[in-house]
Amino acid sequence: MKTYTYTEKKDTRSGFGAGLAELGRTNPNVVALCADLIGSLKMNEFIEENPDRFFQIGIAEANMMGIAAGLTIGGKIPFTGTFANFSTGRVYDQIRQSIAYSGKNVKICASHAGLTLGEDGATHQILEDIGLMKMLPGMIVINPCDYNQTKAATIAIADYDGPVYLRFGRPSVPIFTPADQKFEIGKAIKFTEGTDVTIVATGHLVWEALEASKVLNEAGISAEVINIHTIKPLDDKAILDSVAKTGCIVTAEEHNHLGGLGESVARVLAQHNPTPQEFVATNDTFGESGTPAQLMDKYGLNSDAIVKAVNNVIKRK
Amino acid sequence: MPNIKELEDLTTQVRRDIIRMVHKVNSGHPGGSLGCAEFFVSLYQDIMDRNESFDMDGINEDLFFLSNGHISPVYYSVLARSGYFPVEELNTFRLINTRLQGHPTTHEGLPGIRIASGSLGQGMSVAIGAAQAKKLNNDDKLVYSLHGDGELQEGQNWEAIMYASGKNVDNLISTIDLNQQQIDGSTDDVLPMGSLKAKFEAFGWTVVDIEKGNDITSIIDGLKEAKSLTGKGKPVCVLLHTVMGNGIDFMMHTHAWHGKAPNDEQLATGLAQNPETLGDY
């Protein structure tokens, strides 16, 4: 079995910052907006190099989404930056009408998604954003897994003409994907080949899935780990091809099981190939204060939880 | 440039279009549409420097954004009669498969529309973004927007109003349709907003009052004054004092016709008060 290691950890939001900085050098139409969270979003480098192409909006996210929509009229490619909670729930109607329904080329870049925001607690830990955004017609939804993939995704979405939701996080996590990767929207990545179970993971849970696969391998279970970085459009074929071989699936995400990746996968399976599925996700709950590791353990979002889910789903085959 | 008589004739025709459109589908918003007919005609036929053909980016031309999208009948009528699409298409207003949706949208590709509106309070932010894009593009043309007065009860407006002056968005002219009416009654009854002039000035805008907001000469003079005040570091607000339902006597000075269509008899009365000028669609 192919195994993955890492030598460095970094936060995915820094991958966004690095990607944005590179876009600042390569694409003169890219502009950035922020609602008073420059440091948290790692936007400093872009701003230092392109002060005229940066718009500090202040603490006014609704206004930011509208201004971003307006900036597209005139050929700009706006990247908005704030926490995931304030990028989605707070401004849903602005995104729905002025961006999604209006078909505007805005990139909604959202940091501090999920429980791993940590100590600030549930007011800031959105676990519903994937669901909110994937329900909007025409919205692309991406949740990359490490620094390199987030940087590559940030660069790639500038070349796509249309609204995109890019979700990333706060904590330092292992870097295990290549620095020179080409990011393809909607294209799943198979990390390990397996025959007994398919594990489909997104965001911070991809590394946890790889860790789980090592434990499972030692127990004689061959897991196929697939990284779904694009929740919408979903790579149906990659999922269906894999379950045709393994006969069962575990989905893993830092999100509510209602509305998340798992539900999207379940829809595809129900339609084309009903398959036993277990969900590693939060169970219709808000988060709370704590360290990221404590929270991911308490809410069952780590490699241990994935191993348990695999053992359960294999029994259902 | 059309003369005042020609603009008045066009306005009369636009009034006919508005009430015929809403009558046909027994839905839509005639009151606010009629109140802004003179404004739309003045803006599109005299004030704005716009290209004949429609291009979404609108480089090197003035742009207009309608924030209170429910007054789509007047918008559609004036766009059609300004050459953006065939006037016959006004026949399809609110019908299935139409480009003339109940509220304006880019989704169906109707020329002249650059943003969807309907859910209130969003248009000023969009207009600001478009104005800032013009500055980045070294495009010295202007951005216009229109908002209902009741619409200012939506909080996003005040985020936008604060931002526009704070960031010196001085290529923006936002007009408020000050008809003092909203769905549930007068704005003073529903939620008193005090002096909008004082509020905009306190937020750092330059304010131009157009007291006769249904008089074409006054509107053109006021908008020309507003234009002359752009480029001086501040956004410009035009307070357009209008009469809701203007031009059809039984619809005037009341909120009753905000979102109600006339019946056959009422349509006939309204049309009789506005004899055909340029030809019905």
Nearest chain B Cα to A68, which residue? B129
Q: How far apart are CA A310 and CA A305, in angstroms?
A: 9
Q: How confident is the model at residue B182 (pLDDT cuts 50, 70, 90)?
A: very high
Q: How confident is the model at residue B1 (pLDDT cuts 50, 70, 90)?
A: confident
Q: How confident is the model at residue A130 (pLDDT cuts 50, 70, 90)?
A: very high
Q: How confident is the model at residue A62 (pLDDT cuts 50, 70, 90)?
A: very high
Whole-Å CA distances, A149 to A13, A227, B54, B72? 11, 11, 39, 45
Question: Can you give the three-state secondary structure of A237-268, one letter per residue?
Answer: HHHHHHHHHHCCEEEEEEEECCCCHHHHHHHH
Q: How far apart are CA A45 and CA A17, in angstroms?
A: 7
Q: How near does any CA of chain B get to the CA of A76, in Å? A: 7
Q: Is A61 a catalytic residue?
A: yes
Query: What pLDDT score was predicted for residue A155?
Result: 98
- What is the 8-class DSSP label of residue A34? E
Tokens for A88? 């989605």
* Partners of A141 in the β-ladder: A165, A232
Tokens for A297? 């353990």
Q: Is the pLDDT of residue A202 over 90?
A: yes
Alpha-carbon B136 to chain mean position: 26
* Partners of A58 in the β-ladder: none
A9-174 shares its CATH topology with A189-315: yes
Q: How near does any CA of chain A get to the CA of B32, in Å? A: 21
Relative to beta strand A249-256, strand B172-178 is unpaired
Give mean pLDDT, residues A252-269.
Answer: 98
Q: How near does any CA of chain B get to the CA of A153, in Å? A: 25
Best probe of the A interface among B54, B136, B141, by most A CBs < 10 A, is B136
> Mean pLDDT in chain A?
98
Query: What pLDDT score was predicted for residue A281?
Result: 98
pTM of the full structure: 0.97
Quickly tell me which residue has 């393994």 as its tokens.
A246
Catalytic residue among A8, A48, A49, A61: A61
Q: State the number of CA atoms in the 13 A half-sphere of A293 facing the CB.
A: 2
Best probe of the A interface among B63, B105, B122, B134, by most A CBs < 10 A, is B122
Domain boundaries, chain A: 9-174, 189-315
Q: Is B126 on the interface with A (CB under 8 A)?
A: yes
User: How many percent of chain B have pLDDT more than 70?
Assistant: 100
Nearest chain B Cα to A137, which residue? B107
Q: Is B67 on the interface with A (CB under 8 A)?
A: no
Indicate the SS3 state at residue A102.
Answer: coil
Q: Which residues of chain B make contact with A102, given a CB cutoff of 8 A? A: 105-107, 115-116
Give mean pLDDT, residues A141-158.
Answer: 98
- Partner-chain contact B126 A55, CB within 8 Å: no
Give mean pLDDT, residues A17-28.
Answer: 98
Give mean pLDDT, residues A149-166.
Answer: 98
Q: How near does any CA of chain A get to the CA of B155, in Å? A: 9
pLDDT in tens, B26-49: 999 999 999 999 999 999 999 999
> Mean pLDDT in chain B?
98
Query: What pLDDT score was predicted for residue A169?
Result: 98
Q: How near does any CA of chain B get to the CA of A208, in Å? A: 41
**A·B CB contacts under 8 A:** 119
Q: Is B132 on the interface with A (CB under 8 A)?
A: yes
Give mean pLDDT, residues A82-101.
Answer: 98
Query: What pLDDT score was predicted for residue A17?
Result: 98
Residue B30 has φ and ψ, to the nearest 5°, of: -80, -30
Per DSSP (E only), the strands in A76-132 are: 77-83, 107-111
- Partner-chain contact B115 A98, CB within 8 Å: yes
Whole-Å CA distances, B4 to A40, B9, B223, B246? 56, 9, 15, 18
Among partner residues B126, B132, B166, which is closest to A98 by beta-carbon distance?
B126
ipTM: 0.97
Residue B143 has φ and ψ, to the nearest 5°, of: -120, 130
Among partner residues B114, B128, B137, which is closest to A67 by beta-carbon distance?
B128
Query: What pLDDT score was predicted for residue B265?
Result: 98
CATH class of A189-315: alpha beta
Q: Which residues of chain B make contact with A98, given a CB cutoff of 8 A? A: 115-116, 122, 125-126
- Which domains occur in chain B, in start order? 4-272 (3.40.50.970)
Tokens for B109? 């590709």
- Partner-chain contact B129 A62, CB within 8 Å: no
Q: Is B117 on the interface with A (CB under 8 A)?
A: yes
Q: Is the pLDDT of residue A1 over 90?
A: no
CATH class of A9-174: alpha beta
Q: Which residues of A touch B (CB under 8 A)?
A: 31, 52-53, 55, 57-58, 60, 62-76, 78, 93-94, 96-98, 101-104
Query: What pLDDT score was predicted for residue A260?
Result: 98
Give mean pLDDT, residues B92-102.
Answer: 98
**Contact of A47 with A32, CB cutoff 8 Å:** yes
List all residues 6 or more positions away from A54 whose beta carbon is below 8 Å from its beta carbon: A31, A32, A33, A34, A43, A46, A47
What part of B 144-163 touches A (C-beta under 8 Å)?
155-156, 159-160, 162-163
Nearest chain A Cα to B141, which residue? A74
Q: Which residues of chain A make contact with B174, given a CB cutoff of 8 A? A: none
Nearest chain A Cα to B119, which residue? A97
Q: Is B166 on the interface with A (CB under 8 A)?
A: yes
In 3-state terms, chain B is what percent helix, strand and coil (to 5)? Answer: 45, 10, 45
Tokens for B64? 């207009």
Give mean pLDDT, residues A164-169.
Answer: 98
Q: Is B23 on the interface with A (CB under 8 A)?
A: no
Q: Which residues of chain B make contact with A104, given a CB cutoff of 8 A? A: 115
Query: What pLDDT score was predicted for residue A43?
Result: 98
Query: What pLDDT score was predicted for residue B228?
Result: 98
Q: Is the pLDDT of residue A261 over 90?
A: yes
**Contact of A145 with A177, CB cutoff 8 Å:** yes
Query: What pLDDT score was predicted for residue A199?
Result: 98
Q: How confident is the model at residue B21 (pLDDT cuts 50, 70, 90)?
A: very high
Give mean pLDDT, residues B59-88.
Answer: 98
